[in-house]
Amino acid sequence: MSDVRSIAQLAKQASGILSQLTTEQKNHALLQMAAALIKEQDSIIAANQLDLEAGRHNGTTESLLDRLALNPDRIESMAEGLRQIVELPDPVGDTLEETTRPNGLFIRKIRVPIGVIGIIYEARPNVTVDAAGLCLKTGNAVVLRGGSAALHSNDQIIKVLKSALKSSSIPLDALQLINDPSRASVDEMFKLIGVLDVIIPRGGHSLIQNVVMNSKVPVIETGAGVCHTFIDDQAQVTMAEAIAINAKVQRPSVCNAMETLLVHEAYAAKHLLSLGEQLKNLNVEIRGCSATRKLIPWANAADEEDWSTEYNDYILSVKIVANVDEAIAHIQKYGTQHSECIVTENSDHAVQFLNEVDAAAVYHNASTRFTDGFEFGFGAEIGISTQKLHARGPMGLPALTSTKYIIHGNGQIK
Amino acid sequence: MSDVRSIAQLAKQASGILSQLTTEQKNHALLQMAAALIKEQDSIIAANQLDLEAGRHNGTTESLLDRLALNPDRIESMAEGLRQIVELPDPVGDTLEETTRPNGLFIRKIRVPIGVIGIIYEARPNVTVDAAGLCLKTGNAVVLRGGSAALHSNDQIIKVLKSALKSSSIPLDALQLINDPSRASVDEMFKLIGVLDVIIPRGGHSLIQNVVMNSKVPVIETGAGVCHTFIDDQAQVTMAEAIAINAKVQRPSVCNAMETLLVHEAYAAKHLLSLGEQLKNLNVEIRGCSATRKLIPWANAADEEDWSTEYNDYILSVKIVANVDEAIAHIQKYGTQHSECIVTENSDHAVQFLNEVDAAAVYHNASTRFTDGFEFGFGAEIGISTQKLHARGPMGLPALTSTKYIIHGNGQIK
């Protein structure tokens, strides 16, 4: 039996115990974990130094090194994340439906933990703490498989968190780290049907595609966002500009940032040049359709590939469309069903857009940057699902649960 | 482009239109479909004769031929199924959650169709009608891939249903049949990421396993049920006997029938022989553990494989256990998380069993045979999910929907 399988089976055994714990027992453990991170932060920072040195040695970019780096502030923020999870309501045990049938059967549908959750992620060591906290709060065992860049950091973080579990009701085996950077360890996870109940990938496009294409274990797909903002002919100019600029530049590296701006031809004729100038001053490169390039002379030409590219950068593709129908058709063809926005004062156009655009989150007169578990009021987020099964859009704690029917009878037979 | 892909892409194009139809438009189409089945029944029965002749020629068993055979009564029952779907509430558009955030964003989570649903199934032609009706009612396009035994029947049924759609608002392309019995056509469906949103297999173990193991498209696993009944020491004897006998023999071929009986040693010592005699009189073969064989001399020996076998037949494995803990441990080891039952008057034992057994449906003092969308009051059933994501247990119309967040703002930026 491979190491990966035996590690996951330990998690599975622990999941039975974990599923029966009270909210108080789980919250106690989360607070112990937060305290241990603070108390043992020197050991974590020392381990993180080893990763940073290896990263520098390998020529890792400064921005990646920055994501990887830990310091007392960042460790405090990881600990604070755990304390915030303590404050959230525990969805496990909630009754979702109940009914008494004519034959007297009393049927209740309740929330239960999923069981064992696999998380495959990249460099940021804060995901290690965050995912562990969210899974344990929902009564799930977790098998974490972090990226090679954070090997030492993750190893030490898990040691510290496990030491905290010793004085809690949570079995130590509920928290597992596969600290093997080889591709083989991921491939092994993909085969663990019946051991892992779900795999959630968190990271870039190629990581997510590898999981979606190769896992035999069910996957919750997260991530890719080719998000659009459509400025209608009946948009308020100041609102349209504020929303478009915010959606593009407030944080271009994230999945809910805008990648393509669609502009009604009537709006474009009057106002696109001004918006283009504002974007230029914010260092945004514009790649436009031919009509756009007539209005914005410095725009580069967008090619077919641009319309489906998630730049995650200060680059924006711009297309001029004849009407809301053409905007919707473009989004259906090139979008990733993540977050889409219409800016308009015309309520018919808004309703049509909101109804017909098929995406996890569709906005009328607000920036796509709000697609986020915290902004939606969930108090936490394990990721943003871009698939249609189980969970769609930002996933809070309930997305980490399954359900179970409990049926009380008094001898009913069929 | 393969035929299968181009067929599925037609369905995808139609799904956009379908998702915007009103309940009245969909109900009208379902009634047209029901009427057409009755009106055109001669053509369907004639096509069915070709399948039955081919089946006899190939040496198909009588029980399979019986499942395949259509007659006016069975066609009326297919039509009645469609009429019943008309009566069910349409879940599409339902608001599941709504909230206004401190920044004024008004966020609604609503039910939307999944999109395009693939159904892979075996001989019964009634599944063709049933799946088409359930998918269309929920605004989903459907790609059906039936078994080779029903080629002519399915082809004619779909022709009749499509002719009915001509006088409805539903685009004809929303209903697709892949009438290619080759394995290649199924393999092609597995690759249709981005075209099919989900595949639901309906059929025997090997069909389901093929889909689960090979589909790149997300799957809702249905089916296999190694269901247990545990008779506790504090069970009422008449109730325990009635439940156990019902769970085994009322319809042994289905997934919610009991396959293994677990009996508390104290109950067994007093009452197992009598139950064994009743089962014998009902032609049930018993395969027992060694303790069982001491009490029921005619029982055959159960081997390790028996405990995880879904007989779907007049065969029952029987194990004597020391207590509820041992019963639960056996179920966790050998069960398929479908339907499990405890018969007891001891409420502590009942609560422990209901909480600790991890299955879609867990019963106290009622037969496992009730795990069924109709018995649960859903009015329909597309299958019984034995996985933990998206839907678990009997799936009614809401299981054929996804969700979407609709957000109204007035210029909010982050």
**What DSSP line would sit under B236-278, residue for residue?**
-HHHHHHHHHHHHHS-TTSTTSEEEEEEEHHHHHHHHHHHHHH
Please, what is the average pLDDT of chain A?
Answer: 96
Please check whether residue B377 lies inside any domain of the structure.
no
Determine the average pLDDT of the residues in A182-207: 93
Does residue A207 sit in the same domain as residue A184? yes
pLDDT band at A1 (very low <50, low <70, confident <90, very high): low
How, if at all, do strands B361-366 and B339-343 pair?
Answer: parallel
Claim to verify: residue A298 and residue A152 sit in the same structural domain: no
Q: What is the pLDDT of residue A342?
A: 98
What mean pLDDT is predicted for residues A63-69? 90
- Whether residues B101 and A236 touch (CB distance < 8 A) is answered with no
CA dist list (Å): B15 to A118, A312, B173, B175, B218:
33, 30, 9, 10, 18
Interchain CB distance below 8 Å, A354 and B406? yes
- Assess contact for B143 and B178: CB atoms under 8 A: yes
pLDDT at A204: 83
Residues B215 and B120 in one domain: yes
> What whole-number distance in Å separates Cα of residue A212 and Cα of residue B23?
34
Does residue A18 sit within a domain?
A: yes
Residue A377 lies in a domain: no
By residue range, what is the domain housing residue A8?
3-221+387-408
pLDDT digits (tens, 9 = 90+) for A317-326: 999 999 999 9
Contacts with A68 (C-beta within 8 Å, 6 or more apart), sequence order: A48, A51, A52, A55, A60, A123, A124, A125, A149, A150, A153
Domain co-membership, A100 together with A184: yes
Q: Which residues of A touch B360 (CB under 8 A)?
A: 404-405
Cα–Cα distance between A409 and B247 in angstroms, integer?
A: 14
Q: Contact B362/A101, CB-based, under 8 Å?
A: no
* Average of per-residue pLDDT across A282-311: 97
Segment A50-75 mean pLDDT: 93
**Chain B: residue nearest A389 by CA?**
B390
Closest CA to B338 of B366, B378, B310: B310
Together in a domain, A146 and A261: no
DSSP string, A314-333: SEEEEEEESSHHHHHHHHHH
List, in sequence order, every residue forming a beta bridge with A258; answer none if it has no partner: A227
- Could you give the ipTM of this predicted complex? 0.94
Please indicate, yes or no, whether residues B194 and B237 belong to a single structural domain of this protein.
no
CB B85 within 8 A of CB B101: no
What value does the mean pLDDT take over residues A291-307? 98
Q: Apex CA A240: angle with CA A235 and CA A243, to 5°?
A: 145
Smallest Cβ–Cβ distance between A389 and the set B99, B360, B389 belongs to B389
What integer pLDDT is reported at residue B413 of this predicted model?
A: 98
Residue among A16, A198, A236 minimizing CB distance to B332: A16
Do residues B22 and B137 share a domain?
Answer: yes
Residue B89 lies in a domain: yes
- The answer, for B115 touching chain A at a CB cutoff of 8 Å, is yes
> Is the domain of A86 the same as that of A170?
yes
C-alpha R_g of chain A:
24
Residue A381 within a domain: no
CATH number at residue A202: 3.40.605.10
Residue at A122 is within a domain: yes
Whether residue B212 and residue A193 make contact (CB cut-off 8 A), yes or no, is: yes
Residues B12 and B160 in one domain: yes
Test the B interface: residue of A226, A370, A371, A397 with most B CBs within 10 Å: A370
Looking at the fold, whether B277 and B236 belong to one and the same domain comes out as yes
Contact A366 B412 (CB under 8 A): yes
Contacts of B99 in chain A (CB under 8 A): 376-377
Asked if B404 lies within 8 A of A375 by C-beta distance, the reply is: no
- Say whether A405 and B236 touch across the interface (CB within 8 A): no
Per-residue pLDDT 10s for chain B (414 aa) are: 569 999 999 999 999 999 999 999 999 999 999 999 999 999 999 999 999 999 999 999 988 899 899 999 999 999 999 999 999 999 999 999 999 999 999 999 999 999 999 999 987 899 999 999 999 999 999 999 999 999 999 999 999 999 999 999 999 999 999 988 899 999 999 999 989 999 999 988 889 999 999 999 999 998 789 999 999 999 999 999 999 999 999 999 899 999 999 999 999 999 999 999 999 999 999 999 999 999 999 999 999 999 999 999 999 999 999 999 999 999 999 999 999 999 999 999 999 999 999 999 999 999 999 999 999 999 889 999 999 999 999 999 999 999 999 999 999 999
Within a domain: residue B382?
no
- pLDDT on residue B6: 97
Amino acid letter for position B323: N
Give tens-digit pLDDT for A157-185: 999 999 999 999 999 999 999 988 899 99
Query: Nearest residue on chain A to B16, judged by CA atoms?
Result: A356
Question: With the C-alpha atoms ordered B232, B233, B239, B241, is the resulting torsion angle positive or negative?
Answer: positive
For B327, what's the count of Cα atoms within 13 Å in the CB-facing half-sphere?
Answer: 30
How many interface pairs between A and B have CB atoms less than 8 angstroms apart? 196
Residues 326-365 of A with CB under 8 A from B: 332, 354-356, 358-365
Total domains in chain B come to 2
Q: What part of B 202-261 touches A (C-beta under 8 Å)?
A: 212-213, 216, 218-220, 236, 239, 242-243, 246-247, 250
Chain B residues in contact with A282 by the CB 8 A cut-off are: none
Within an 8 Å CB–CB cutoff, is residue B392 touching chain A? yes
Task: Please give the share of chain A, as a percent, with pLDDT higher than 70.
Answer: 100
Write out chain A residues lying below 8 Å of B198, CB-based: 388-389
Write the CATH number for A237: 3.40.309.10
Shared domain check, B133 and B109 = yes
pTM of the model: 0.94
pLDDT tens string A238-271: 999 999 999 999 999 899 999 999 999 999 999 9
> Domain for residue A382, yes or no?
no
Does residue B108 sit in the same domain as residue B193? yes
Query: What count of other Cβ atoms lies within 10 Å of the Cβ of residue A230?
Result: 29
The tokens describing B360, both together, are 């879609």
pLDDT band for A224, please (50, 70, 90 cuts): confident
